[in-house]
Structure 1
């Protein structure tokens, strides 16, 4: 047992995990989380939109479409009925794509028990409203404590038991601080804990959710540059400056810049920008290599969160007067049809700025766009 040096308090505390969990969404990540939670025998009800998917999980203990190589824990029961999934649940995790969060939360309203905590695992910003995912759930399901889980966790690796970590954020009000063992944050962290998966707690919902939304857009930018033939210097520059865009937007919304340097920010950003396992990175690579959007992913309809979020993030940044040039570049390419080469060349030729904000210096870039040969090689 260690001692907290600041307060002289004995650690660790004890907190009781939830006994019955509803996981709403049986895609790869929802299924992986259900599997993690159920490994110690916790009863998990997994909601699948498709009745056939739910039936196959119950018959074979596998999600053949999303996690075919994982034999799921036996205490998982799948259903395509929301009322059955939510019945008797102590806590709920919503793991559906960001564009479906509002409709799914609204559909849950008649069935969810009063006051039980909800953890949102979708990453994004709602178009038109600029709402974070937790704000949407609070709108649709008032009276519930709402948190968010975010971090560098590819579903296949999480389900396979690779050591992984994420940030779990809930608002921590006075009652929670007086009795942290019974807070939703602590109890959900205990519910998720396994020998290979650990969570770190945060009370900065805004910072955690902004990291999750923006990193997908930066990953598309990194993918575009990789697909165009550029290498590690370019990726490192985009990751680093993308992190600064995350910090600026989080701070403008009342979040903390330090949160973005954690797992839900730089951790998730680094993972998503480093592997085509990420659909965001993969889309960027395909577009950067010259494919039209309709031809990407072998022509199969594939939801890529960063594609929609490029516009919603940029629109929100404009409303708040927060400059986010990388996100604006990706948005212009995806939604305004701007050419990749010219648009990224323009970004690289933007005025020279100081990196510490306190210096507040800006100088015109000396190199005209016509003398930037590297970008002329990008397919059009």
Structure 2
């Protein structure tokens, strides 16, 4: 029987642990807070997914070594900007043989590295063992066992197939892919585009406006991914447009909701105060913008979101800045 360790007890980490367990995998979760560990061992995670009854094959511990002991699959589900620090604490337990799965969607501040690159560098994990799971996977819907699909990407397709086989309960369909770069860029950038769509909604704009932002956001994502060597087809798939639509349009999306509050006129500090979970786009937009500039990629939507989040620009000013740009060919 396959054994997995899940490092991180937030919404998506917990939902994915349930996916693995429902697929027949024994799961041990690692959590930093003993109170959450105790909840999971009692069959629930009331802090993040209070309505999910965890399978009996899911347990938890506050000891990283105990969580990883004998695991065939090690899943990393911590906030993206804390990944390097976490690996500095317990990266040695990742071992030399387990597939290491990233559920994180971000670009590291300062280094502009993708999460798989941080895992390889700070965790000493060979790229052939690093797997990225990404797609339209809103955790509350997964917790309700509503049908969903996702991409399982690894440069070694046999490793991707092994992880996909362990992540295949009746309600969750994984598709394998070898394009790690495109899968990760899609997952990171869609959070920033969701902030922009949320701001448009908060300003009272309708579906034309939001669809326009989503479509042009996909263009920015594709340009950046292609500059980094990604496969263009990835952006037309589950990890690309699929995840983009779900994150931009759903009220369950933390980034969308964060953007709505910014659009309504709340300050960044006010939105942070009322938000109980991480909106990855807020933290990653600056590093994604730096990555784009490094590769001379035009990303006007990302630029404007970063200006609102980090420079104090008003959400309503962003619309004018985008609409007054010089005319150009759509596919240029």
TM-score band (shorter)? Answer: over 0.9
Could you list the per-position Cα deviations for residues 117-172 of structure 1 after superposition, in whole angstroms to 9, with x for gaps in the alignment?
10101001011111000000011222441110000011111121100001111003
Q: How far, CA to CA, are the matches of 2:257 and 2:23 in structure 1? A: 34
1:87 counterpart = 2:69:
yes
Q: Structure 1 or 2: larger helix share?
A: 2
CA offset at residue 105 of structure 1? Answer: 2.3
Contact kept in structure 1, 2:265 and 2:315, CA below 8 Å: no
Per-residue deviation at 1:42? 1.9
Which 5+ residue runs of structure 1 have no aligned equivalent? 1-17, 177-182, 358-380
Indicate whether 1:48 and 2:23 are aligned.
Answer: no
5+ residue gaps, structure 2: none
Match 1:260 to one of 231, 235, 256: 235
Q: Which has the higher contact order (CA 8 A, sep 6+)?
A: 2
Q: Normalized against structure 1, the TM-score is what? A: 0.84
Q: How much has 1:343 moved relative to structure 2?
A: 2.6
Q: Bigger radius of gyration, 1 or 2?
A: 1
Change (3 A) 1:227 1:106: same
The 3-state SS of whatever aligns with 2:249 is coil
Aligned residues of 1:48 and 1:54 also touching (Cα < 8 A): yes
Shift of 1:355: 1.2
Does residue 241 of the first structure (1) align with residue 224 of the second (2)?
A: no
When residues 42 and 301 of structure 1 are mapped into structure 2, their CA distance, relative to the original with a 3 A threshold, is closer
- Measured in 2, the distance between the counterparts of 1:98 and 1:338 equals 25
**Residues 60-75 of structure 1 aligned to structure 2 (within 5 Å):** 61-75=43-57
1:31 aligns with 2:14: yes
Residue range with higher mean Cα deviation, 314-323 or 37-46: 37-46
Is this contact kept in 1: 2:136–2:149, CA < 8 A?
yes
Q: Does 1:159 align with 2:143?
A: yes
Note the aligned Cα RMSD (angstroms). Answer: 1.4
TM-score by length of structure 2 reads 0.96
TM-superposed CA distance for 1:304, in Å, is 1.1
1:33-73: CA deviation from partner (whole Å, max 9, x where unpaired): 111111244210011111110012112x0101111111100
Alpha-carbon distance change, 40 to 150 in structure 1, aligned in 2, over 3 angstroms: closer
After the TM superposition, which residues 173-322 of structure 1 pair with which residues of structure 2 at under 5 Å, given as runs?
A: 183-296=158-271, 299-300=274-275, 302-322=277-297
Q: Distance in 1 between matches of 2:268 and 2:161?
A: 43
